[in-house]
Amino acid sequence: MSDKKPDLKSIQQQLGNDQVKERMIPPVHLWKPDFSGDLDIQITRDGRWIHEGGEIKRPAMVTLFSSILWREDDSYFLVTPVEKVGIQVEDVPFSFIALDVRQGNNGQELVFTSSTEDVITASAEQPLRIETDQDSGEPSPYLMVRYGMEGRLSRNVFYQLAELVEERNGEFGVESCGEWFKIG
């Protein structure tokens, strides 16, 4: 571990400004740097990125940092080829803010867009799941994004999804890419 304290500016410099302009997901799964320490960054339950107590307001920066997120067990990191820094995540790191229903080769496709510009189609590889809070009974809808990380559907998107629910064999759910996802 280096004696230098990790910071956001060094991570941005390592990635270069080109990645801020054009959406790309770097090959984080191939990078194996040593742990460099923790950064004072938290991703809140509603998808806001907080650095040293203040919200990161530049969407391009949040999108850039979300592209280098990595999960190991229950810990989250920002990873570059030379640095791996820990961050805190309240629930899950992504927040889905839009739903588009399309027709594809396997029928209906539910296409979700996150606040960090990830576009994910619910499928066998990227399943949709609902978790119900045992105390409140409130449902929490999640969608797999990448590298074992999920995103939470915003309330508005969940309401849109609820309008698409069908009943099959006594179960309520939705279909996407030929897969059935139980909702209730």
* Whole-angstrom distance, CA of residue 76 vs CA of residue 59: 20
Q: Is there a single domain that holds both residue 102 and residue 154?
A: yes
**Tens digits of per-residue pLDDT, 130-163?**
998 888 888 899 999 999 999 999 999 999 999 9
Confidence band of 14 (pLDDT split at 50, 70, 90): low
Domain residue limits at 57:
8-89
Please report which confidence band the pLDDT of residue 183 belongs to, taking 50, 70 and 90 as the band edges: confident
Is residue 1, in this structure, part of any structural domain at all? no
- One domain for residues 30 and 74: yes
Q: Quick check: 19 pLDDT over 50?
A: no
How many domains is the chain partitioned into structurally?
2
Q: How many CA atoms lie within 13 A of 183 on its CB side?
A: 18
- Kindly tell me the sign of the dihedral angle through the C-alpha atoms of 57, 63, 65, 69: positive
Same domain, 64 and 82: yes
